[in-house]
Structure 1
Amino acid sequence: MTDKKIVSIEDRIPQLKKARKRKANRRFVMYLTMILLLVLVIVYIQSPLSYVKSIDVKGNHRVEESEIIAMSEISMDENYWGVELEQAKDQILQHPEISSVEIDRKWYNGYDITISELARVAYIREGDYYYPILEDGTMLKDQQLDQPLGDAPLLHDFERPEMLTLLTEQLKKLPESINQLLSEIYWIPNEINNYKILVYTADGHEVIASIRDFSTKIKLYPSIASQIQPNQEGVIHIDVGAYFQPYSSEGEAITPENQTESDQ
């Protein structure tokens, strides 16, 4: 039978003392680290390092950066951790041209404000001034322009608000490449089609269309216009079918009605 090695109490006491000392040292280091971190946090909060040092705005094209920062009410002399982000977002969203906003903390004393803007899909004239119309149908009454900026069509004779709303819903679906081709749009309802519109394009053509399917049908315009000879004048119809109708020699548009009259 093998003899077991017996360790006396006297031999174990130094080892127990060392273990207790190591444990006490680890606890001391942990407490000291926590105290130092707490001191650093207090110093940081009380120092200028905790103030907002930078505010960067992204995604804005028309709304000025300074206006967005002012609406957020985030100031450079404000404590970085005291900013109410949700409140700042709600205040920025009060701007009629801003559809969404995100505010992110950047490192230890900066903010990134990222916004999305509603597109301007048209202009309309009231009195002596022109006003932008957004994709949600909002007219920017606070922005009086002497002339439209040319980045969206000018609307005429839209006396019924519901027709204006329907058209803006169609215009916001258009790609920018198509929207840039539209110069002016007139609402010209008749007994047959209450949604009829006349469009003047930037390259000098006239287009008859319907509001209800305008965003779909107007995409046919470039291919039709490309087939028209430079000396040909007439009207492109995309309200019923899609075709080009040349003017007569007298300058009158050839329609089924006046064609029938000329045959009599």
Structure 2
Amino acid sequence: MEKLIDIEERIPTLRKKRKRRMTWTFSILLFLFFSALLLVLYLQSSISKIQIITTHGNEIVNAQEIEAVSTLNKGDSLWSFTTSSIEQEIEQHPAIKQAEVSRKRWSEVVISVQEYQPIGFRGTDETRILLENGAEVTSEDAGSMFGPAIGKFDEEKVEKKVISELGKLASENRMLISEIFSSPSKSDPNLITLFMNDGNTVILSALDLSEKMDLYPAVLQQIPIGQKGIVDMEVGTFFESYDSIYGEKGEELVIDEQQDSE
């Protein structure tokens, strides 16, 4: 015969289980209540607001301009935006190649940017900086720090090629150039003239500007010390001194192609 368990014997056990269940449920509800309360208090407090916006990596675009295009403002909620959406806003700026936005500490937003490489400036206005992507931006920084002055080109495609080629040049070779002008001929509409900071004039095609200018330092080693003149790199490489051009004693040289490529 099965043993019958008196219900009265089970009541204390059931009561203990029910009490533990109620205590556990109450603890969870209490935890959720205080968590929600703390969250509300945090969101209403100043520590959840943007107090500092820091920018890194910008040389051309000033910090105030980056803050403006980011649409972030001090006093905004630190959690009212997604970092990816702000990065997209910043990358709309013509000078910004890439942006990264992150939240730091309690109330700081850090914006790190990578700018397009500056390759020169427009005409005599050193505040109108030309970038490797073809964009033109205004900056208070001196354009001559970034490359040569680029004159007006009648052919837009030639100008675009010059800008593209300057972007391929090592910065130290680009800084050898003072000014660039279009000088097309009947045989070559892409012909350009470069006035160098060392006093020489270089003539070459825009199509191979970067290739020829990479050879220029080696070309200088073959020019007699003290001589200045025209380096024609359109087909082959030739040097003619200004003295020779203007009827005085000077030199004309054929530059060794093998030596200037070493």
- For the aligned pair, the TM-score class normalised by the smaller chain equals 0.7 to 0.9
Of 107, 112, 115, 1:114 maps to 112
Unaligned runs of 5+ in 1: 1-5, 257-264
**Residue number in structure 2 paired with 1:3:** none
Unaligned runs of 5+ in 2: 255-262
1:189-200 correspondence runs (5 A): 189-200=184-195
**Residue number in structure 2 paired with 1:34:** 32
Question: Aligned to 2:172, what secondary structure does the other structure show?
Answer: helix
Deviation at 1:89, TM superposition (A): 4.1
The reply to whether residue 64 of structure 1 matches residue 58 of structure 2 is: no
Of 123, 126, 129, 1:125 maps to 123
**Residue number in structure 1 paired with 2:226:** 231
| Alignment partners' CA distance in 2, 1:240 and 1:13 | 107
**Residue number in structure 2 paired with 1:245:** 239
Once superposed, what is the RMSD of the aligned Cα atoms? 3.3
**Residue number in structure 2 paired with 1:204:** 199
CA distance 1:28–1:254, change in 2 (3 Å): same
**Residue number in structure 1 paired with 2:164:** 169
Question: Aligned to 1:43, what secondary structure does the other structure show?
Answer: helix
| Alignment partners' CA distance in 1, 2:152 and 2:47 | 58
1:10-29 correspondence runs (5 A): 22-29=20-27
| Superposed CA offset, 1:165-216 (max 9, x none) | 1111111111212111111112211122221122222222322221111112
| Alignment partners' CA distance in 2, 1:135 and 1:25 | 68
The reply to whether residue 137 of structure 1 matches residue 153 of structure 2 is: no
- The answer on whether the counterparts of 1:234 and 1:253 sit within 8 Å (CA) in structure 2 is no
CA distance 1:38–1:113, change in 2 (3 Å): same
Question: Aligned to 2:184, what secondary structure does the other structure show?
Answer: coil
Of 43, 49, 52, 1:51 maps to 49
| Superposed CA offset, 1:45-102 (max 9, x none) | 1222221122111111121112211332322222222246565445434433223323
| Alignment partners' CA distance in 2, 1:103 and 1:144 | 25
Q: TM-score, normalised by structure 2?
A: 0.76
Given residue 68 of structure 1, which amino acid in structure 2 is its aligned partner?
Answer: I
